[in-house]
Amino acid sequence: MFPNKPKEKKLVYLDHAATTYVDKEVKAVMNPYYTERFANPSGLYGIGREVSKDVANARKSIAQILGAQADTIIFTSGGTESDNLAIQGMAYPHKRNGKHIITTKIEHPAVLETCKFLEKDGFEITYLNVNKEGQIDLKEFKNALRTDTILVSIMYANNEIGTILPIADVGREILKWRKTKNTVYPYFHSDACQAAGVLDLDVEKLHVDLLTINGSKIYGPKGIGVLYKRRKVDLHSLIHGGGQEMGLRAGTENVPGIIGLAKALELSQENKGQENKRLIELRQYFWEELQKNIDKIVLNGTKLDDEKTRLPNNLNVTFLDIEGEAMLLYLDEYGIVTSTGSACSSGSLDASHVLIACGLPDEYAHGSLRFTLGKRNTKEDVDYVIKYLPGIVEKLREISPVNLKYDKSKS
């Protein structure tokens, strides 16, 4: 018998890695651009010029946060387009100098599927391994570098297990390689969509040439993203038309989205220290309560007490002897929203490619849930989850045909 449902079901949203709500301050600055300041920024008339100035100010604001110049900020429709523009836009104009690209096995599908597409067109891709915590080996990376390597694309933080990758170290190795080989290659791209709200984005400190950010992960609007492109980096456009975004992304600008993204990034960077601390404490409480109330569980990713190697809001847990999809659906009946992995793969029943790359067997990967906390989550939310989750797990285990051996040292 599953736990009795509450008379008044509470919504507990724990899938902030998939998307976030729009912050009220962000929504407020966006509103005028729907009904009052609605003009096309390419218009030569007065209201068009005013909107164009607002877009320029938003571009400058984002550039300042990244420690960059305004003309290096390209607005796109989101993280997926930014990743595609960075990788495809770099690959084709530079293929005369090499067709080798390095990435990792745990990248977001926007990167992995783009690389697979390029493989069909004659490019060679090296997919770096990761250890059980989702970390790359810098020695393996250095050994993968070749004279025909034109691009490296390694994410800043993983969307499923929250592991923060050492991209500044990768960037330094690339700089050493360039100096030793007297070349401008490889260029370095990083998908920072999960990191944008919680980590430092200074592109000079990170040593990146291309950086992807989107609005929907930082309490900004959906349908808007940024690709930072270092000056003198040659990209080819994927979308042709009116020549907007310095000729790299045609189409009338999403002005409300641009304004909202700039404000969301500003707020998240201003408040990240205090909010990160709160989320780490809440996550630790959540994990302790899970351990007290449910047996045969395993933490996936890096240790929770190391804020330098794991995003503060991420808790990825395997519940042995259960299918993650079943847990997700039952939790939803109690108003608890979570995920079994990448949101872009939520329609697939395949085991998480990230957890498989970390060395988990299929059965472990299939029994995982990703809880990602956000600004509205409280201790009361965690208590609500703990009230119902243990009973759901117990019942699902009773009817499950799976019975896995449990290594307590991994929990």
Residues belonging to the active site:
344
Query: Under a CB-based contact definition with an 8 Å cutoff, are residues 257 and 245 in contact?
Result: no
Give the orientation angle of helix 379-399 with respect to helix 324-333, to 10 degrees. Answer: 130
256 half-sphere exposure, CB direction, 13 A CA radius: 15
The token pair at 303 is 């240790």
Q: C-alpha distances in angstroms, 52 versus 112, 143, 189, 312, 367?
A: 35, 47, 28, 37, 50
CA–CA separation, 65 vs 47, rounded Å? 28
Peptide bond into 186 cis (omega under 30): yes
The token pair at 151 is 């691009």
Query: Under a CB-based contact definition with an 8 Å cutoff, are residues 373 and 280 in contact?
Result: no
Alpha-helical (H) ranges within 67-196 are 79-94, 109-119, 138-144, 167-181
Strand stretches in 248-379, DSSP E: 297-300, 314-319, 336-337, 368-372
CA–CA separation, 99 vs 19, rounded Å? 34
User: Hunting for tokens 């080996």 — which residue is that?
Assistant: 137
Residue 353 DSSP SS3: helix
Query: Under a CB-based contact definition with an 8 Å cutoff, are residues 383 and 369 in contact?
Result: no
The token pair at 212 is 């992807």
